[in-house]
């Protein structure tokens, strides 16, 4: 790695220019007003670069395809990610500004869904995972209507672990999504699911249930 540019205006030299040649004007003197002498320049360095973009955000949304990441981002911010009822609707990361108060906000990034094997590049997993390396906190999203939500959560953590174990050291929160389809809304969540993470928040992006508590927890985590 040659350099890592983290702030606006940062610079680095990746290849130096060659030494300039001297033209005949450089050899002009009081006695020789039209010299015919000159020296050639020397070529500069040539280098092939691979440049990797890693988005910087406060909160990175991590979830399997169709877990409700884009729906949540569209509700809590002014971003307009594509939302549809099929996997891999989101194909590129989407940033959104989440307003927490008159003078407070955070930046949230929705990355495309992760599937088993994402750490090895399956489903372009490596292309997506790099965007959460710079996030200050992670928000796991698990669809509560899945046959085994606990297994979905463990799959996400395993993919992060196998990609870069340091990602699991970031502060994190777990949101159980789509609770509006449960008979009693967020009150109908299986109590056992509330134990799979130290911070679990049942939510519904459709009805707005639980979003206030979740955003409050995110703010406290970022602060």
**Which domains are assigned to the chain?**
13-51 (no CATH), 59-222 (3.40.50.300)
pLDDT tens, position by position, 131-146: 788 889 999 999 999 8
The DSSP secondary-structure symbol of 216 reads H
Q: What is the pLDDT of residues 100-158, one digit of tens each?
A: 878 888 999 888 767 555 444 444 445 667 778 888 999 999 999 988 999 999 999 99
Q: How far is CA 104 from the centre of its chain?
A: 20
Q: Do 87 and 66 form a contact (C-beta atoms < 8 A)?
A: yes
Closest CA to 173 of 217, 206, 134, 216: 217
Looking up tokens 């992006």, which residue turns up?
205
pTM over 0.75: no
Q: What angle do CA 80, 223, 162 make, to 5 degrees?
A: 70
């Amino acid at each position: 790695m040659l350099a890592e540019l983290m702030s606006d205006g940062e610079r680095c030299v990746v290849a130096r220019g060659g030494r300039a040649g001297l033209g005949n004007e450089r050899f002009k003197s009081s006695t020789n007003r039209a010299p015919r002498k000159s020296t050639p320049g020397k070529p500069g360095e040539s280098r092939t670069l691979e440049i990797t973009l890693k988005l910087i955000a406060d909160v990175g949304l991590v979830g399997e395809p169709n877990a409700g990441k884009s729906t949540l981002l569209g509700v809590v911010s002014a971003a307009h990610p594509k939302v549809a009822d099929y996997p891999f609707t989101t194909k590129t990361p989407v940033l959104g500004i989440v307003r927490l108060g008159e003078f407070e906000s955070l930046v949230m990034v929705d990355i495309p869904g992760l599937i088993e094997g994402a750490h090895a590049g399956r489903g372009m997993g490596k292309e997506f995972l790099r965007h959460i390396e710079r996030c200050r906190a992670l928000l796991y999203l698990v669809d509560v209507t899945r046959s085994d939500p606990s297994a979905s959560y463990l799959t996400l953590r395993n993919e992060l672990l196998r990609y870069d174990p340091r990602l699991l050291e970031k502060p994190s929160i777990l949101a159980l999504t789509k609770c509006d389809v449960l008979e009693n809304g967020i009150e109908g969540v299986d109590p056992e699911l509330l134990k799979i993470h130290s911070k679990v928040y049942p939510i519904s992006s459709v009805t707005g249930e639980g979003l206030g508590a979740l955003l409050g927890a995110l703010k406290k985590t970022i602060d």
